[in-house]
Amino acid sequence: MLTSDVKVAALGFVPVAVHFDLFDTLAKIEGPASGEDVLVAYRSSKGDKAENNVPCLRLVQDTLYAMSGLGFVDIAGDDLYSANAITKHLATMPSAQHGALHFTTEALLGAAFLMKKLKADNFEYPFKELETPYQYAYHSMGQEELAKQHTYSIMAAEGRMDSFNHFMVGKFMKTNTAPDRLKAFGYDLQSVLNEAGNGVPATMVDIGGGRGELLLDIKAAYPDLQPSDLVVQEFNQDIIEIPGITLATWNYKEDTPQPIKGALVYHLAHILHNLSDLEAARLLQKISEAMGSHSRILIHEFAKNANYAKMHSAMIALYAGRERSAVEWRQMAALAGLKVTFEAYPEFGEGLIEMRKL
């Protein structure tokens, strides 16, 4: 148990490994390589640019050693390392490296200040979304302007949002497409689409849908859907166009109603677990008020089980959010005048909760 606990410090070296492309570099080297071999290969890959961004040999050696302790690379001898399956996965799936960077930068910082935040507030809990351990970390570091901002705003100010957006596009690994996942749950999306017509629109709205990955999956499976049927609502200035998708602006955090009324489906994919119960209920109420009798909300979130306890903890530390159980989803639905009409909670991967108006 002690060995497992002390690996937390090794996580602090993950951003170093990502910054200096150590996973990519080691994966390209055939056979075991020393820290010096990796450093030479890194310098060679960067050419003239390397002169402004070169780690010292000891930093490379200690970072590789730390990564071996995490299982991200294999140790093959004294200062000898080789790529394993995880190394190669990280090298071939850049979004996974961005994800590792997120959880060892933002999440690790928030976790380090969680107890300090609780003690400072006499253990007041749950946290509020602008008063999480992450904000408290910046307060403790004397960065008061950042400490007053939402976690995403802090990340933007720190130049971290581009990396985070890359993570959200590909996540840690390739999974089934959204239509395949729904089909595996026994959810009949085709029957839902068949309801369109005679005054019922085929409109699907993905709220906070990023670069449109979910709707692009659906469009690939149902090519008859038109761009006007598929709407991503975002409030991200970096996203200006999604081919084949209609991009609309809505900041659900502001005191404005859902502008698209009576859509066939409103998707919420990994949005509600970023929100406190109060903020999640408010968002569901806004959508509920826009829904018609034919409308439904499809919530794509992880199940609240042992496999996602760490994710649950990260959502708390960063956003005052949380994963939710079946009971909690029903309570949340009732607060918004909705009822749960379909639910699937797999052990691994995204689950599905459908809500419709009472």
Q: What is the pTM of this model?
A: 0.89
Q: pLDDT > 70: what percent of the chain?
A: 96
139 catalytic residue (yes or no): no
> Where do the structural domains in the chain lie, given as residue ranges?
2-92, 95-170, 178-357
Q: What is the mean pLDDT of residues 216-237?
A: 92
- DSSP conformation letters of 152-191: HHHHHHTT-HHHHHHHHHH-SS----HHHHHHHHT--HHH
Return the pLDDT at 1.
43
Amino acid occupying residue 208: G
CATH no. of 2-92: 1.10.10.10
Selecting among 102, 270, 273, 300, the annotated active-site residue is 273
Report how far residue 16's alpha carbon sits from residue 215's, in angstroms, rounded to the nearest whole number: 35
Report whether 258 contacts 250 (CB < 8 A): yes
* Per-residue pLDDT reduced to its tens digit, 20-78: 999 999 999 988 999 999 999 999 988 766 667 889 999 999 999 999 999 999 999 99
* Six-digit token string for 139: 């307060």
Q: Which residue has the tokens 């309801």?
A: 195
CATH no. of 178-357: 3.40.50.150
Report how far residue 132's alpha carbon sits from residue 308's, in angstroms, rounded to the nearest whole number: 20
Report whether 167 contacts 95 (CB < 8 A): yes
Report how far residue 271's alpha carbon sits from residue 273's, in angstroms, rounded to the nearest whole number: 6
